[in-house]
Amino acid sequence: MFPKGDDFFEKRTKRGSETLPEADQDCGILPIFAGGKSHFASYIMPTLTVSEILRQPKVGDIVTVKGWVRTFRSNRFIALNDGSCQGNLQAVVDFEAFPEELLKRVTTGASLAITGELVASQGAGQTVEISVQKLEVLGDCPTESYPLQPKRHSLEFLREIAHLRMRTNTFGAVMRVRHAAAFAVHQFFNDQGFFYLNTPIITASDAEGAGELFRVTTLPADGAPKKEDGTTDFSEDFFEKPTNLTVSGQLEGELGAMALGKIYTFGPTFRAENSNTTRHLSEFWMIEPEMAFFDLNDNMELAEAFCKHIIRYVLTHCQEDLAFLDQRLEQEEKSKPQDQRSGQGLLEKLQFVLDNPFVRCTYTEAIDILKDSKPNKKGQFKYPIEEWGADLQSEHERFLVEKHFKSPVILFDYPAKIKAFYMRLNEDGKTVRAMDVLFPGIGEIVGGSQREERHDVLVEKMQAVGIEPELLGWYLDTRKFGTCVHSGFGLGFERMVQFVTGMGNIRDVIPFPRTPGNAEF
């Protein structure tokens, strides 16, 4: 069992006053010379993180910390950061005690190991600092060629050097928040009695029926084997049939739900859409719970609780990073024209979602609201709303959330013709039990539905959209053998991270974005 909290810190920084063997001199034990005799101190010199030191500062401790130089001022003050938190640890060097050649190597980006005593800081901005006793340059960083100098860099520039951008304050904060949000996902579903199911990344099905697929094949690009009718002979391919990278784990997730009751998936998905927008990626992570015996109302309740849990967890555990991102967003907003500003700070927006119950509104009601709205009547919508059946765009979704309801919104009962085949057909024969969760500043963040549990109806819907039922016989079996009402939804993880960090471009919330024409690293 690992010690926790203060006990963990104590055990990593202290040891009893026993005499230690000579071999331990290479294990980080600090020798102290007193009265002409060599003794070993009662402190171990562990490698602590900056976060640990700043969270539980203990003046007088001898510590070792490793990290990268952010700045080195006056040949005396080193700002050291190891990625564990937003803050830097100041290390104070007595430049007369160290060789000049060594100090010249302490440049922005260089990696260091520093050993010294934690002392009360004399300057503003930190409670403790390290009085440096030992300084080692682990990795040099030539100033003339290092692209990340201590100044503000544009996000566009940082996307060009994505292999280095996680070293900046902004992307360090985003990645730590991303981690916290991912942890919150697993925590929520585990606490709710769900089972984590790993669905295939390589699949022969197209869950969305959209046809925007990345093909997976071992056949040669030139000279692929052909059948007599001229089509590709996939019998000679690795899987002996056409396969692609998954666009969703939903269909396989439904199989799990019909056996285990409640499951969720959390994995990469792929869309071969040629969309160069701030809201689309070609590779992204999806969270898809599927629940047996859940109807549409149960589904909406779960989606609201899930979204709020992630936001609440991040607000609780990422305060420093969110405060930084909040200030960053505030500065960014000031550079925009007044009519393009969001009107809410990041922290205010997150609290807004937590404090307000999600309004339930039918698609039909939403269309009436949008048709009668001022932006629609004055031609301010890029996509005017003219009739029932229109596919809502982000501008419409944001109007409903930010202007009309002033609350997160769940729209439901959409026209069947604009939704996927697996959604449960309502009694009116023209709408399905679909639902979308809409957030301020981003629009749709969750999409889901009650699934069509009736075998005959599902077969008819498949045939209507050109899907051969035989190809999904395994999926139809769940409607033949013990079918029941069941539901599920999908949340694009990057959309959620984008929302909780306030980043304007989805490419800035994933370490290595995959977009049309971009597959670096």
Res 159: pLDDT? 93
Query: CA-based Rg of the chain, rounded to a whole angstrom?
Result: 28
In this prediction, residue 336 carries a pLDDT of: 80
Q: How far apart are CA 199 and CA 246, in angstroms?
A: 9
pLDDT at 222: 87
Nearest Cα neighbor of 205 from 232, 244, 171, 262 is 244
* Residue of 445, 434, 441 whose CA lies nearest to 363: 434
Element (H, E) at 216: strand 215-216
pLDDT at residue 158 above 70? Answer: yes
Q: What is the mean pLDDT of residues 133-159?
A: 95
pLDDT at residue 47, as a whole number: 79
Model pLDDT for residues 19-61, shown as the tens digit of each residue = 334 434 333 334 434 444 444 444 444 578 999 999 988 999 9
Which neighbouring-strand residues pair with 73?
Answer: 77
- For residue 457, is pLDDT > 70? yes
- Single out the residue of 183, 188, 180 nearest to residue 317, CA to CA: 180
The continuous run of DSSP H or E covering 70 comes out as strand 62-73
CA 333 to chain centre: 23
Tokens of 315: 């607000």
Residue 341 Cα to chain centre, angstroms: 24
Q: Does residue 81 have a pLDDT over 80?
A: yes
CA atoms within 13 A on the CB side of 432: 26
Burial class of 51 by CB neighbour count within 10 A (0 to 12, 13 to 18, 19+): middle
Give me the mean pLDDT over the 467-491 stretch.
Answer: 96
| Distance in angstroms (rounded) separating the CA atoms of residues 389 and 368 | 11
* pLDDT reported for residue 46: 56
- Per DSSP, the residues of 63-111 read EEEEEEEEEEETTTEEEEE-SSSSPPEEEE--GGGS-HHHHHT--TT-E
3-state DSSP call for residue 463? helix
Residue 383 above 80 pLDDT?
yes
| pLDDT value for 455 | 98
User: Is pLDDT above 90 for 201?
Assistant: yes
Q: How confident is the model at residue 210 (pLDDT cuts 50, 70, 90)?
A: low
pLDDT in tens, 282-340: 999 999 999 999 999 999 999 999 999 999 999 999 999 999 999 999 998 888 887 77
Mean pLDDT, range 350-379, rounded to an integer: 97
Taking only the tens place, the pLDDT of each residue in 182-191 is: 999 999 999 9
Alpha carbons 305 and 185: distance in angstroms, whole number = 11
DSSP annotation of 401 reads: I
Q: Is the separation of the CB atoms in 266 and 493 below 8 Å?
A: yes
DSSP 111-162: EEEEEEEEEE-SSTT-SEEEEEEEEEEEE---TTT-S--SS---HHHHHHTT
Single out the residue of 128, 123, 2 nearest to residue 65, CA to CA. 128
Tell me the per-residue pLDDT of 401-427, one tens digit each, with 9 for 90 and over: 999 999 999 999 999 999 999 999 999
b/e sequence 433-465, b meaning 16+ C-beta within 10 Å: bbbbbbbbbbbbbbbbbbbbbebeebbebbeee
Residue 220 tokens read as: 């040669």
Kindly state the average pLDDT of the residues 430-454: 96
Question: For the chain, what is the mean pLDDT?
Answer: 90
Q: In whole angstroms, what is the distance from residue 503 CA to residue 494 CA?
A: 10
| Neighbouring-strand partners of residue 44 | 29
**DSSP 8-class letter at 59:** T
**Mutual angle of helices 296-317 and 319-334, in 10-degree steps:** 100
* 213-261 tens-digit pLDDT: 999 999 998 888 999 898 999 999 999 999 999 999 999 999 999 999 9
- 102-120 tens-digit pLDDT: 999 999 999 999 999 999 9
pLDDT score for 211: 58
What per-residue confidence (pLDDT) applies to 497?
Answer: 98
Query: Does residue 14 sit in helix, strand or coil?
Result: strand
Backbone region of residue 391 per phi and psi (left: phi > 0; alpha: psi in -120 to 50; beta: other values): beta
- Between β-strands 89-92 and 111-120, what pairing exists: parallel, antiparallel or unpaired? unpaired
What is the pLDDT confidence band of residue 278, given thresholds at 50, 70 and 90? confident
Question: Vertex 229, ends 223 and 233: CA angle to 5°?
Answer: 45
**Would you state the pLDDT for residue 43?**
47
pLDDT tier, 18 (very low <50, low <70, confident <90, very high otherwise) = very low
Please report which helix (H) or strand (E) contains residue 307, including its range.
Answer: helix 296-317
* Percent share of the chain, pLDDT over 90: 80
